[in-house]
Structure 1
């Protein structure tokens, strides 16, 4: 006879069943939370506008790249994971050697945080990348060397820096070097010429009767004259020569590696180009002339100031002699 009061030992006791059920529910909850965390992590990776990556140094294999890679580089992440050369092929040719060398430096430094190089995206546009990388140290010997990094698009920042540099070094009206930038560059050329024992010439140019032009035709026409003078300078000087506006109607030039006779030829070419200029104001037309003072580096010159002083004296001598001429000192 079966005793109905006897417990069936094949069934789990209620406390045990409850514990098992609670454990299953807890496990399901953990799975759900893990899934939520993975979804959150994936969402964060998608939203972050930077490329997270991991690279096996020994096998030259990209182990991971985040979704931003396809947005910033404009290339397939799957192709990159299959072939590391996809990264090399995206780099601007002039920057490839630096990008690879700076990546290798992480093996010795542990981290390289100042890597900046250019890439060419899928549309052929050049972009600037800031690509920090760190070595993932493995405690156990024989483990692969894994480099991890984060790459950001800094193109807008670079464009802003370039524009700020242009504004800081350029005369707004004539688009030639401003006084500060001109003399910074001129002093560097002076020191280099002295160090190398190379020739160097210095030129000052002043527009004749510029006040009369402003008073007769107005300041807008005077501005036009200044702009055309700057254009003549850019057209007449040699590649590597310096040219800038250093005062109201005064310009200066430096001719590195230029012997005195060649410097005179350049100054004469500039003088002729300026003499050919013609300006119209209403029914009136007019031309302009300039006076130039030219000098060359000598062994006695210890600073650019001495060349500037000689060229300045020569220029005023040209004024005294009737203007529209070049005086060499």
Structure 2
């Protein structure tokens, strides 16, 4: 015997496989996502840090200008207090015209040396004293601006702060005035004290601080004259020449905003400008900073951080690629096994990965989706069968149309028209009309009804297969209320016999020509017959009728609220259309349990025989809500109608038609008085010998 040949061992599969194209694309997407996320996060941090730095600069500058504005305001208040002290030492005799300036004892005035110049004027506007540098000078040397502020003080009787009194940089000054009053309050004269612009009591040169390349402090008046500046050469210049500040100042002037002490900051592309005002002297303090220079240290730190981040992202991407390659090995094995299976390799099934993870999850998900698909198919079959059962057994005709085509046709519709379902399914709707003119005329009518009411409810004449006409009451609504292209559902009810009855003279005598409801005469007759039947039944039973006996029905009397608005604004044709629609609505709601009638211009009545009071109240409320929810549109205007309803129960307290109608009418009248658009339940009332009669009749 020879030894059997040894079995050939298949080569071992390598432990690492290159992922397939899908996984490689996913890895590329992951790397791109990491790069985008890292760059996006770094950019966001950079933006946030820049915004935070700007926010801190804004807060710091705003606080700074507010503090400086308050400091200057306190200096001005101190100057006014000193001036008030000087004013307190001036006696009325010092203001008499006979006293020459050199004769006034001004040396005795307190705190006089605080001011660089002092003037005292009498009530006639003439100077009594003019001191400059502690020495009396002629009145003619007084500047016009100083004389003007003294006159305004005499005229207004209030302290004043002058505008800048021009001169050289060293001679520019501000004048403060104080009115002098007699004991009776009359203005006796005016006192003025002037301080040089750059004096210690006002704007000393040290206040502006040394000039910095990235920032400058500016104090200026309302007219833009610079009063203090980090660069002394800019004093008495104009802020319109200041970079950054000129634009903010121009916008402030354009908006005509009042000066307030609260600081405000505006961030411009190249500058950060903070301003705070001093209301009394009408000055403003501004800090103007170059944003790039302020944020230069931050920009350098951000550049260094970008390089560090780039290195970190690169290392992270390499680590991510290795991790994703290792995690994708089950899918790589799955791909290799599938390729072996396609080559009809019988050993291929041994290479299917024995692992869970996404491979096992995908298999489970696919199995679950297959089961769900089978369930949905069975459910669709069930729903289709139920829908077909409705089409086959409904007592009314059902049709669904879309884009002028008959998509679904019920069995009752086919019987009504004399066709088989296959003869109508998928055919144009024009097929069931006598002519193209009838089809176009009905289409225009349908479009008009949908435009006004959002639905269609009317009588339409169709043509049977044998050419004979058939009348149907047609009700149509969109499958989707928000889009007519979703199709329209139509309900058809054969009323050919009713239409034939309408041709008879007796029908016209008992029905309203406009609404096709019973008229007032027929309403009285039918209600009288109902009451007579009840009386006969009670008499045959042998039991006397009692007022508290159980009601055998209800009567509703309805009056449209503000109906004349439709007639007045849209015309009587629109009013007639609204009455027809309300009549259709009432008839469709109550025809299974009672009947409706039109008893007046915009008045309707409904009788519900055998209806309990609670049920009648529910039906009345349902009718009220249906009318209120209807919003017709005529001549481009929308209207909202409502209905006041009076309800009475047909019990023993209502012996005849007159009593019922009077009680129902008075209940409706109560609903009108209570605010309209409501339901009121009435009771039996004695009819007056004269006055308001039932149903608004004379």
Larger radius of gyration: 2
TM-score (norm 2): 0.24
TM-score (norm 1): 0.50
The structure with higher relative contact order (CA 8 Å, sep 6+) is: 1
